[in-house]
Amino acid sequence: MDVVIRNANLADGQHGVDVAIEQGRIAAVGPRLPLQAAQEIDAAGDLLTAPFVDAHFHMDATLSYGLPRVNASGTLLEGIALWGELKPHLTQQALIERALQYCDWAVARGLLAIRSHVDICDDRLLAVEALLEVKRLVAPYLDLQLVAFPQDGVLRAPNALINLKRAIAMGVDVVGGIPHFERTMAEGAESVRILCEYAADQGLMVDMHCDESDDPLSRHIETLAYQSNRLGLHGRVAGSHLTSMHSMDNYYVSKLLPLIREAGVAAIANPLINITLQGRHDSYPKRRGMTRVPELLAAGIPVAFGHDCVMDPWYSLGSGDMLEVAHMGLHVAQMTGQDAMRECFRAVTATPAAILGLEGYGVAPGCHADLVLLDAADPVEAIRLRAARRLVMRRGKIIAESPRAHARLDLPGRPEHVNFRLGR
């Protein structure tokens, strides 16, 4: 064997497990494996997990905060306007450099798979070319999946549909959309039909920004589910944001949820950004804005959490830490039961991995040896502490390491120094 990790806890509740790795894949998982390896790692009862996965991000805009100016209102619409101001001044080199810097941040935090939307409304497709190059460069250590995203509306923006098809032909993976940003509700529904039919014809997945609004009558998720069902796209479609569902009446939602499940559509919430950008027209009480995560899960609909933005026109914060995303999602959705908190951990690991269709993901024999060892005993503690990543492994090779979180105290009146593990 190349590597054996000893005495690890797994996210499914197993304790004291050994994981053996050979030629970049997991060869065996079990207690006290009678194996020798060139390298042995003592997990010491810490949590060993498959890597974090971000199902919704905008890498073409990341780390551009303040360019060409700061979003003074902090609103979604000013962020979109700012991005429109910035696009004519973008260069491929700057896009690549910012994206690569973010990928470094991601890897250090155990985030090894990202689905990024890339704006295709610029006829030059500079961002598409840049992120395709980034995808090539980071492939040895990070899976980057790209969505052709018509930021200004596929029907509203000139040449957007042509550009989307050009982007797919260049190697972009997924068909995107933004129906609530079209000129009318009818054109929004028409955009969903056009894009889903194109995806069905090309054998592609679909991931649409859907109903990122406080308007309870923004119901494009219904149309997305209908088209998914009509075209047989089950398991290949995701609706991102779905924030209008937060404001919908309960009777309508009771009809909507079974339709989404029947259509095999997944949901992607973005806790940090949804609660920051939504509810801006409210005084008090002020709506949270995030979609109905517990209700979606109870209906059998897969729900992932995305980071969405990091230091860009829409959000001035963020660090690529999916445990921060899970932590916020847990609080906003009031998912504080033990099973619910574990579901929030799955929302940044196994669930988005399934939505992205990642091959060989998991901690089981035959899976890729892509692993993260966290300075925590279980998923709930990992979220509570936003635990340090003791090591990050890609195909059996360690690519990032961090020290465990310890503190040494020298307190007046105490007879001796105290060393303890923070938060444990």
DSSP per-residue string spanning 272-320: HHHHHHTTTT--SS-------HHHHHHTT--EEE--B-SSBTTBS---S
pLDDT the model gives residue 136: 98
DSSP letter, residue 207: E
The SS3 of residue 89 is helix
- State mean pLDDT over 353-370: 98
Tell me which residue has tokens 């494996």. Answer: 33
CA distance 383 to 98: 27
In this structure, of 139-153, 361-375, 404-418, the range with the lowest mean pLDDT score is 404-418
From 171, 178, 6, 145, select the one nearest 77 (Cα to Cα).
Answer: 178
How many DSSP H helices and E strands does the chain contain?
13, 18
> Which is more confident, 421 or 377?
377
pLDDT in tens, 233-262: 999 999 999 999 999 999 999 999 999 999
Q: Please check the confidence at residue 424 and state whether its pLDDT lies above 60.
A: no
- State mean pLDDT over 91-109: 97
Using 50, 70 and 90 to split pLDDT, how confident is the model at 409? confident
Q: Please check the confidence at residue 418 and state whether its pLDDT lies above 70.
A: no
Q: Please check the confidence at residue 401 and state whether its pLDDT lies above 60.
A: yes
- State mean pLDDT over 385-390: 97
Tell how strand 111-119 and strand 143-149 pair up. parallel
Neighbours of 48 (CB within 10 A): 25
CA distance 188 to 178: 8
Query: Residues near 56 by Cβ (< 8 Å), separated by ≥ 6?
Result: 115, 117, 207, 240, 268, 270, 304, 306, 307, 308
- State mean pLDDT over 163-178: 98
> Which is more confident, 417 or 71?
71
The catalytic residue positions are 212
Using 50, 70 and 90 to split pLDDT, how confident is the model at 405? confident
29 - beta bridge partners?
19
pLDDT the model gives residue 411: 79
pLDDT the model gives residue 420: 61
pLDDT the model gives residue 364: 98
What would the DSSP string read from start to end of 98-161?
HHHHHHHHHHHTTEEEEEEEEE--STT-HHHHHHHHHHHHHTTT-EEEEEEE-TT-TTTSTTHH
Q: Please check the confidence at residue 416 and state whether its pLDDT lies above 80.
A: no
Using 50, 70 and 90 to split pLDDT, how confident is the model at 24? very high
Tell how strand 205-210 and strand 237-241 pair up. parallel
- State mean pLDDT over 191-215: 98
- State mean pLDDT over 128-157: 98
Q: Which two tokens stand for residue 151?
A: 């930021």
Q: Hey, what domains does the chain have and what are their CATH numbers?
A: 3-50+362-408 (2.30.40.10), 52-356 (3.20.20.140)
Query: Residues near 195 by Cβ (< 8 Å), separated by ≥ 6?
Result: 154, 164, 175, 176, 177, 206, 208
pLDDT the model gives residue 395: 98
- State mean pLDDT over 156-184: 98
DSSP letter, residue 198: H
CA distance 402 to 396: 17
CA angle 186, 221, 143 (to 5 degrees): 120
**105, 241, 360 from 310: Cα distances, Å:** 11, 16, 28
**Mean pLDDT across the chain:** 96
pLDDT the model gives residue 408: 66
Q: Are 189 and 203 in contact (CB under 8 A)?
A: no
Query: Residues near 298 by Cβ (< 8 Å), separated by ≥ 6?
Result: none
- State mean pLDDT over 359-363: 98
Chain center to CA of 205: 16
Say what percent of the chain tops pLDDT 70: 97
pLDDT the model gives residue 422: 66
